[in-house]
């Protein structure tokens, strides 16, 4: 496994390795997006319209890649973002990702849709552990969950605000991707043709939404992921309700799914301590702008008063450098680390992070910058 990982040069290589290892229905759950997947493609294509500017004859012998987020020093402007169903890609996938983030001294964000329980995750994650919340219909259950999360040492909460109604993901519908796995002759044949994955799942058992079950009770069997989420997510939570959440949560609060300066302004006015510019990797509303297109206006609105993070579509350190140059404080990763996880577990996730760190370091240096602050502004948009 280690030898195969070492031969992977970039995240696309890890994606290819993950595709070979996983059955189609599982790979498509990582790789797919909503509708015709136009937003997912736009997330990727928008990076090409941004060009980094270079300086030359600069002393680059000492470079600093680290930064601070909510007062905590981190080694890179990178966060392992919240993703669900990670146990379907590798046994104890959430723990693998948490350990990888801890090893690289960067934050890990636990998802409400995690396939491991809160206590196990707390034991695996480092001190930079954050939590992502899908607002539950039952406020009492939500408040109890948040109390447990805070008691477990999670100090930053990301409320996802772009998933009141789950996106329609055609690949999952076609593949019949359900909880727990529901097998047909075709899916069994596909699983058998991926023996390493199949043997691991036989030993570990079918993944479940363990944290969801801890919070709200047993998850309905035979339901798609979207079905489960739709039954439990509060689709009537509005701006005025943020005051209730602000009172419940003692730590830092971020809104994840912000895509306009107006919404960033309202979030800050409502007591949010920061925002995540996100379109859920194109997995929610299809046909929207890319996050890198939305980023500059939101950075301008924030004007350094609160952190602005960004996710969706990032697969190289150069793309991360472009976001930092545009003013983002850090980039959250989704599929990039999941491809590494699916390819090689914790070692694969760490390999993905190291690839991105090396690419980011080289992009930083080749622009003539020696720190994140020097990288600011070294980018131009050629789309006219």
Residues recognised as catalytic: 280
Are 228 and 209 in contact, with CB atoms under 8 Å apart? Answer: yes
The SS3 assignment for 374 reads: helix
CA pair distance 180, 190, nearest whole angstrom: 17
| E-only strand ranges, 88-155 | 108-110, 129-133
Two structure tokens written together for 208:
């479940």
Look at residues 97, 157, 95, 141 and name the one whose alpha carbon lies nearest to residue 122. 95
Q: Which two tokens stand for residue 270?
A: 């409502």
Gap between the Cα atoms of 167 and 269, Å rounded: 28
Residue among 146, 150, 103, 157 nearest 349 (CA): 103
Tokens of 245: 């959440």
Other CB atoms within a 10 A radius of the CB of residue 292 amount to: 28
């Amino acid at each position: 496994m280690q030898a195969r990982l070492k031969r992977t040069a970039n995240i696309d290589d890890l994606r290819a390795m993950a595709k070979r290892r996983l059955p189609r229905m599982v790979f498509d759950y990582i790789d797919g997006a909503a509708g015709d997947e136009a937003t997912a493609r736009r997330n990727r294509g928008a990076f090409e319209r941004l060009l980094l500017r270079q300086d030359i004859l600069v002393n680059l012998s000492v470079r600093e890649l680290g930064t601070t987020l909510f007062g905590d020093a981190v080694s890179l402007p990178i966060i392992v973002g919240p993703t669900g169903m990670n146990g379907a890609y590798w046994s104890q996938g959430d723990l693998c990702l948490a350990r990888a983030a801890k090893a690289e001294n960067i934050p890990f964000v636990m998802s409400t849709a995690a396939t491991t329980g809160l206590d196990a995750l707390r034991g695996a994650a480092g001190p930079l552990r954050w939590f992502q919340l899908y607002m539950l219909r039952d406020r009492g259950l939500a408040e109890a969950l948040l109390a447990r999360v805070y008691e477990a040492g999670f100090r930053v909460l990301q409320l996802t605000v772009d998933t009141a109604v789950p996106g329609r993901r055609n690949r999952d519908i076609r593949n019949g991707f359900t909880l727990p796995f529901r097998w047909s002759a075709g899916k069994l044949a596909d699983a058998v043709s991926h023996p390493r994955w199949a043997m691991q799942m036989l030993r570990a058992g079918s993944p479940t939404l363990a944290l969801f079950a801890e919070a709200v009770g047993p998850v309905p069997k035979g339901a798609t992921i979207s079905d489960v989420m739709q039954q439990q997510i509060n689709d009537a939570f509005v701006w005025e309700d943020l005051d209730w959440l602000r009172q419940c949560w003692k730590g830092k609060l971020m809104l994840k799914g912000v895509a306009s300066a107006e919404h960033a302004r309202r979030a800050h006015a409502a007591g949010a301590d920061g925002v995540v510019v996100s379109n859920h990797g194109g997995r929610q509303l299809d046909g929207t702008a890319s996050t890198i297109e939305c980023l500059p206006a939101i950075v301008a609105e924030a004007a350094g008063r609160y952190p602005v993070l960004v996710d969706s579509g990032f697969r190289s350190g150069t793309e991360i450098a472009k976001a930092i140059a545009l003013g983002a404080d850090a980039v959250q990763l989704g599929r990039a680390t999941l491809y590494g996880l699916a390819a090689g577990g914790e070692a694969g996730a760490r390999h993905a992070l190291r690839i991105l760190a090396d690419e980011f370091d080289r992009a930083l240096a080749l622009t003539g910058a020696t720190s994140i602050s020097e990288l600011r502004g070294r980018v131009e948009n050629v789309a006219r």
